[in-house]
Amino acid sequence: MSSRVFVTGLGIISSIGCNIKEVMEAIYAKKSGISEITILETNYKGKIPVCEVKKLNKELAELAGVSNLNKYTRTALLGIIAAKQAVAYAGIDNIKELRTGVISATSVGGMDRSENFYQSFYKDQNKGRLRDVVNHDCSDSTEKIADILGISEYITTISTACSSSANAIMLGARLIKNNFLDRVIVGGTDALTRFTLNGFNSLMILDATGCKPFDNKRNGLTIGEGAGFLVIESEKSLKISGKKVLAELTGYGNACDAFHQTASSPEGYGAYLAMKKAIEVSGKHITEIDYINAHGTGTANNDLTEGKAIEKIFNNSIPEVSSTKAYTGHTLAASGGIEAVLSVLAIKEKIIYPNLRFTEQINELSFSPTIELLQNKEVRNVLSNSFGFGGNNTSLVFSKY
């Protein structure tokens, strides 16, 4: 049984870059991925901004190193790219040398393809390509990732809305700690779809000018797409592989306040419980948390309730706080994976990310997010929050090793 869990590999693709180098260049340049829709076919082109990966599926297939594009959804392609990056980063040559699993999260699954089938079938029930629906289910992208990586020991998919990737990471850590696996590729992937764009628009929580997390004049979120994966390993695995440690996953906590289908409780009780548990599991004192990578969607409800929960835990010792969703958009099930990668990079690169597009402090809160890119900062512990619909809230603590 391993008492500790280490991060040895990272992979990411998002609207601000197709790999870590490109993403970090955008971070340093304070370049947001919020832009007009160019890839997704929707009536909202030119009306609602999103955070798209500016690559056609054919281009993504080339990056993923796969052929026969008909076998892969956009969700699967994004996931394969990030997962392969993470494995390469960790320097894994023989995936079979240790008990290795894949835990991937997604909320839309293969909907980017099945929407096309529905559109044709709705007009004429004798039309529509069945190959567009066979990859609809959420497990398809996970199985495709596992096949590409050559993993068969343990494969599972998590779909708990916007906390999905964080829950994938937490489950992977628990499997390692309980000696089921030695190494796990964990994270999540989601593609932009008409269904999610229309769904969030029907809730009237999309900002027509782009999200402004933690701003007093925030007016909604910006939907994004992408994937983020980590390689996490046990102490035993490290002794065998000798891999370099990027950070340690020291804490995790999950709580469900079940207050509302799409809104968090007014006082952010679920968020409070998740953060409190994660910090307790990490064994850290609140004063040792140097940075909070907030869920920070830019909606009126989320930012206020998350802010209240942060105040309740940290009192007068609130660390640096920012939301990177002003860079990447809200990538739904992939957000926890993308933000976990960014949290580890904050430790490695000694930086704290700016909360882009912020102008005015929320009236009901006592703090403002960090608005400048802080460099040469000793970042020892990062608290990363991922809060989902239905009140499924998860927090992770990554620590310097």
Say if strands 320-322 and 291-293 run parallel, antiparallel, or are unpaired: parallel
Say if strands 100-105 and 392-399 run parallel, antiparallel, or are unpaired: unpaired
Is-contact 11 92, C-beta < 8 A? no
First to last CA, the chain: 20
Residue 382, phi then psi, degrees to nearest 5: -120, 130
Angle at the Cα of 205 from the Cα atoms of 368 and 76, rounded to 5 degrees: 100
- Whether 295 is catalytic: yes
The rounded distance, in Å, linking the Cα atoms of 216 and 359 is 8
Closest among 294, 273, 283 to 250, alpha carbons compared: 283
Closest among 208, 382, 366, 215 to 297, alpha carbons compared: 215
Q: Out of 162, 211, 256, 260, which one is annotated catalytic?
A: 162
Phi-psi region of 280 (alpha: psi -120 to 50; beta: other; left: phi over 0): alpha
The rounded distance, in Å, linking the Cα atoms of 39 and 203 is 23
Q: What b/e readout covers 71-106, taking b as 16+ CB neighbours within 10 angstroms?
A: ebbbbbbbbbbbbbbbbebbebeebeebbbbbbbbb
Closest among 215, 211, 220 to 361, alpha carbons compared: 215
**Helix extents (H) in 150-260:** 164-177, 194-202, 235-241
Within 10 Å of residue 377's Cβ, how many Cβ atoms?
15
Which residues make beta-bridge pairs with 381? 399
Query: Between the CA of residue 340 and those of 14, 122, 142, 294, what are the distances in Å?
Result: 13, 40, 19, 11
3-state secondary structure 287-324: HHCCEEECCCCCCHHHHHHHHHHHHHHHCCCCCEEECC
| Amino acid sitting at position 47 | K
Which residues make beta-bridge pairs with 286? none
Catalytic residue ranges = 162, 295, 330
